[in-house]
């Protein structure tokens, strides 16, 4: 066993003495030691129930003959961090989570690992750590939140709340209605109830083969979640026994499957950051353009919030991720050969998993669109590409041309929207918010929600070298690469320039001549870094482009 280096022989006597100090018996020390990475904390709603999930995992490990040992991972609540400097610390925690887990699991050589994440960055961070360590590993998330209600009693989620701010500011709802939404839109613990980043990545964990059926969709408050956690605890012992490792599971074929299901589900644009970063840890190149290749042949089968009025509970009732995969397999779009944490292949896992509600998961013969939920656009303003969640874009905005309204930070753009300085037809440009320029590549849910809540969702586009929450809807185009801080063309845009967006044809263009751009480039000067000390300053020096997953070099 991997743990033998701290358990066997005379030279391990000092380590054994410390294991005894933990209260372990000799019988326990002789069993496989299973590390359980717990993301439990008391500030993230998606993590407040994780102690119960971890306890269930521990029971499963013990039932199957292992010794469970818990250690922590951090997590940021993107919703609480949204709209202020705290959001600069969201994406960057992905690397902290991966690095700290690598450190803990190497310093203490566990025989297997159970990862218990939930919200946005600790799911990909722990997947990156699993790939890097390549120790038998399995995932079980804390589960999604139930949907809540708004001021009219309609189904609602966190994104409804953000948009309600603008509705209040323009007089569409009153203060009491705002408060009703505030108190009722997020009714339980769990990751926010739509197809936002956390739920996207937890669903894709199933597709990658690193989680059991239901990992992404069983609600946090269901007892079924605890039963799943116990099964996960038992299953890690099988993975250890059979020596099935993450890189055996997360193959190139598994990543193409993940992108395929991503397109069908209409996942968050953040998956375009996280899947390449996880693939990078597996030694696999997943180019940005792969999204379009997969999207062209993959129908969009689901419109979960914010794209529609269905939520994670609805997806779970309709058959979950495996039902989506089985439907895609009928079109020949799923590679059934990869092995998974079940010890079986993808094909064996999804066999017989049928859709039970064709309103929530549409059939291959009646998709929302013939192409997938994400699109990568390219043009002179984004030579390396940018990404949009086209499943959440209205028909009127699929093609758009308008005047640039230029802002060098998120706050200035939000103020302009709230002060009624943005006109129908405009294209808002928010720059110097990329991985290096932010630093940290902030999510832009506040400006996109302000656009929609102000009634401009059908007439105003937004482009940024930052990124978007999975809760964002509308013509919101992020990850513009190269970013402004690196001298990308987005840094050269001037107020009033015309920007043309053509999502169906994967194009975006700044309507300025090459000669004029070259002249502007001569006069461009790098912007003074926003932050010069601490972790973010170090991160800024090491981070790669958003088009390559914003990984550290």
pLDDT of 471 reads 87
pLDDT digits (tens, 9 = 90+) for 375-396: 999 999 999 999 999 999 999 9
Residue by residue, DSSP assigns 190-235 as SB-SSS-HHHHHHHHHHHHTSB-TTTTTS-TTSHHHHHHHHHHHHH
Residues 288 and 426 reside in one and the same domain: no
Q: Which residues have CB under 8 Å from 228's CB, separation 6+?
A: 140, 212, 214, 215, 218
pLDDT digits (tens, 9 = 90+) for 86-128: 999 999 999 999 999 999 999 999 999 999 999 999 999 999 9
Which pair of structure tokens corresponds to residue 414? 């939000």
3 state DSSP class of 443:
strand
Beta strands in 374-474 (DSSP E): 374-379, 382-389, 399-407, 427-430, 461-464
For residues 278 and 133, the answer to whether their CB atoms sit within 8 Å is no
Q: Which residue has the tokens 């902290």?
A: 96
* C-alpha–C-alpha distance, residues 395 and 398, integer Å: 5
Residues 217 and 306 reside in one and the same domain: yes
* C-alpha–C-alpha distance, residues 290 and 187, integer Å: 38
Q: Are strands 33-38 and 148-149 parallel, antiparallel or unpaired?
A: unpaired
Give the helix/strand (H/E) hosting 37. strand 33-38
Residues 407 and 293 reside in one and the same domain: no
Q: What is the mean pLDDT of residues 297-323?
A: 97
Q: Which residues have CB under 8 Å from 14's CB, separation 6+?
A: none
Q: Examine residue 8 and state whether it is found in any structural domain, yes or no.
A: no
Half-sphere exposure of 327 (CA within 13 A, CB side): 29
* C-alpha–C-alpha distance, residues 195 and 263, integer Å: 12
Residues 430 and 539 reside in one and the same domain: yes
541 has binding-site annotation: no
CA distances from 328 to 213, 293, 346, 465 (A): 16, 16, 12, 33
Residues 443 and 405 reside in one and the same domain: yes
Helices 197-208 and 271-281: angle between axes, nearest 10 degrees: 40
Buried b vs exposed e over 207-229: b needs ≥16 C-beta within 10 Å?
bbbbbbbbbbbbbbbbeebbebb
* Cα dihedral across residues 490, 384, 251, 352: positive or negative: positive
Q: What is the mean pLDDT of residues 231-242?
A: 98
Q: Examine residue 10 and state whether it is found in any structural domain, yes or no.
A: no
pLDDT of 104 reads 98
Q: Which residue has the tokens 């979960």?
A: 304
3 state DSSP class of 292:
helix
φ/ψ of 496, rounded to 5, equals: 95, -15
Q: Examine residue 358 and state whether it is found in any structural domain, yes or no.
A: no
pLDDT digits (tens, 9 = 90+) for 17-62: 999 999 999 999 999 999 999 999 999 999 999 999 999 999 999 9
Residues 281 and 341 reside in one and the same domain: yes
3 state DSSP class of 382:
strand
Residues 405 and 525 reside in one and the same domain: yes
Q: Examine residue 360 and state whether it is found in any structural domain, yes or no.
A: no
Q: Decide which of 308, 333, 350 is a domain's last residue.
A: 350
Residues 259 and 224 reside in one and the same domain: yes
DSSP 348: H
Q: How confident is the model at residue 553 (pLDDT cuts 50, 70, 90)?
A: confident
For residues 306 and 472, the answer to whether their CB atoms sit within 8 Å is yes
* C-alpha–C-alpha distance, residues 298 and 548, integer Å: 22
Q: Examine residue 355 and state whether it is found in any structural domain, yes or no.
A: no
Q: What is the mean pLDDT of residues 230-236?
A: 98
pLDDT digits (tens, 9 = 90+) for 7-22: 999 999 999 999 999 9
Residues 529 and 409 reside in one and the same domain: yes
pLDDT of 530 reads 86
Residues 168 and 230 reside in one and the same domain: no
**Residues of the chain above pLDDT 70, percent:** 100
Give the helix/strand (H/E) hosting 532. none
pLDDT of 356 reads 98
Residues 388 and 442 reside in one and the same domain: yes
525 has binding-site annotation: no
Q: How confident is the model at residue 153 (pLDDT cuts 50, 70, 90)?
A: very high
* C-alpha–C-alpha distance, residues 272 and 549, integer Å: 7
User: For the chain, what is the mean pLDDT?
Assistant: 97
Question: CATH no. for residue 248?
Answer: 3.40.50.2300
For residues 269 and 374, the answer to whether their CB atoms sit within 8 Å is yes
Q: Are strands 427-430 and 461-464 parallel, antiparallel or unpaired?
A: parallel
For residues 108 and 35, the answer to whether their CB atoms sit within 8 Å is yes
Question: CATH no. for residue 446?
Answer: 3.50.30.80
469 annotated active-site: yes
SS3 string, 104-153, reads: HHHHCCCCEEEEECCCCCHHHHHHHHHHHHCCCEEECCCCECCCEECCCC
Q: Decide which of 333, 350, 367 is a domain's last residue.
A: 350
Q: Find the domain containing 208 and state its range.
A: 31-146+188-350
For residues 545 and 467, the answer to whether their CB atoms sit within 8 Å is no
pLDDT digits (tens, 9 = 90+) for 204-222: 999 999 999 999 999 999 9
Residue 463 preceded by cis peptide, ω within 30: no
Q: What is the pTM of this model?
A: 0.96
Q: Examine residue 364 and state whether it is found in any structural domain, yes or no.
A: no
pLDDT digits (tens, 9 = 90+) for 492-527: 999 999 999 999 999 999 999 999 999 999 999 999
Q: Is 534 exposed, middle or buried (0-12, 13-18, 19+ CB in 10 A)?
A: exposed
419 has binding-site annotation: no
* C-alpha–C-alpha distance, residues 262 and 241, integer Å: 32
Q: Where are the alpha helices (DSSP H) in 505-551?
A: 514-523, 534-542
Q: How many residues does the chain have?
A: 553
Total domain count for the chain?
A: 3
Residues 167 and 195 reside in one and the same domain: no
pLDDT of 283 reads 97
Among the listed residues 3, 147, 469, 481, the single catalytic one is 469
Q: Decide which of 350, 383, 408 is a domain's last residue.
A: 350
Q: Examine residue 11 and state whether it is found in any structural domain, yes or no.
A: no
Q: Examine residue 22 and state whether it is found in any structural domain, yes or no.
A: no
Q: Give the other-Cβ count within 10 Å of 431's Cβ.
A: 25
pLDDT of 102 reads 98
238 has binding-site annotation: no
Which pair of structure tokens corresponds to residue 372? 């997938």
CA distances from 394 to 221, 358, 361, 375 (A): 33, 22, 20, 14
Q: Give the other-Cβ count within 10 Å of 27's Cβ.
A: 8
* C-alpha–C-alpha distance, residues 276 and 205, integer Å: 14
**Residues of the chain above pLDDT 90, percent:** 98
3 state DSSP class of 447:
helix
């Amino acid at each position: 066993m991997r743990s033998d280096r701290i358990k066997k022989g005379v030279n391990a006597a000092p380590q054994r003495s410390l294991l005894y100090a933990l209260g372990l018996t000799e019988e326990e020390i002789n069993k496989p030691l299973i590390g359980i990475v717990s993301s439990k904390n008391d500030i993230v709603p998606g993590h407040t129930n994780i102690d119960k999930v971890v306890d269930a995992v521990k029971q499963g490990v013990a039932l199957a003959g292992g010794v469970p040992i818990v250690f922590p991972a951090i997590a940021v609540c993107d919703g609480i961090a949204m709209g202020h400097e705290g959001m600069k610390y969201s994406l960057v925690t992905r690397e902290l989570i991966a690095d700290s887990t690598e450190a803990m699991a190497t310093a203490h050589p566990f025989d297997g690992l159970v990862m218990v994440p939930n919200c946005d960055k600790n799911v990909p961070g722990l997947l990156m750590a699993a790939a890097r360590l390549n120790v038998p590993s399995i995932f079980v998330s804390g589960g999604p939140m139930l949907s809540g209600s708004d001021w009219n009693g309609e189904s609602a989620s966190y994104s409804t709340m953000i948009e309600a701010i603008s509705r209040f500011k323009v007089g569409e709802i009153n203060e009491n209605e705002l408060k009703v939404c505030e108190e009722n839109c997020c009714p339980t613990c769990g990751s926010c109830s739509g197809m936002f980043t956390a739920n996207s990545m937890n669903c894709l964990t199933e597709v990658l083969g690193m989680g059991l059926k239901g990992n992404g969709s069983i609600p946090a408050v269901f007892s079924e979640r605890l039963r799943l956690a116990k099964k996960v605890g038992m299953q890690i012992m099988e993975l250890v026994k059979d020596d099935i490792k993450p890189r055996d599971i997360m193959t190139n074929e598994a990543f193409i499957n993940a992108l395929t299901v991503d397109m069908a589900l209409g996942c968050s644009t953040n998956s375009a950051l996280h899947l390449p970063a996880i693939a990078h840890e597996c030694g696999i190149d997943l180019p940005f353009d792969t999204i379009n290749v997969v999207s062209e042949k993959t129908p969009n089968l689901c419109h979960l919030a914010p794209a529609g009025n269905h939520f994670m509970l609805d997806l779970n009732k309709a058959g979950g991720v495996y039902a989506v995969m089985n439907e895609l397999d009928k079109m020949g779009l799923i590679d059934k050969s990869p092995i998974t944490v079940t010890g079986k292949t993808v094909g064996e896992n999804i066999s017989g998993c049928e859709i039970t509600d064709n309103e929530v998961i549409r059939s291959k013969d009646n998709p929302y669109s013939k192409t997938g939920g994400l699109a990568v656009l390219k043009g002179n303003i984004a030579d390396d590409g940018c990404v949009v969640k086209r499943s959440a874009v209205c028909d009127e905005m699929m093609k758009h041309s308008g005047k640039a309204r230029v802002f060098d930070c998120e706050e200035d753009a939000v103020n302009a929207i709230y002060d009624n300085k943005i006109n129908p037809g405009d294209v808002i440009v928010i720059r110097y918010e990329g991985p290096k320029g932010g630093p940290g590549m902030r999510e832009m849910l506040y400006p996109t929600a302000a656009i929609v809540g102000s009634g401009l969702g059908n007439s105003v586009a937004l482009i940024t070298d930052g990124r978007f929450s999975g809760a964002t809807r509308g013509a919101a185009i992020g990850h513009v690469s190269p970013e402004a801080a690196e001298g990308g063309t987005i840094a050269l845009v001037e107020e009033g320039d015309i920007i043309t967006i053509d999502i169906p044809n994967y194009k975006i263009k700044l309507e300025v001549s090459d000669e004029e751009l070259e002249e502007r480039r001569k006069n461009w000067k790098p912007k003074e870094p926003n932050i010069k000390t601490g972790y973010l300053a170090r991160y800024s020096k090491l981070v790669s482009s958003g088009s390559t997953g914003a990984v550290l070099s």
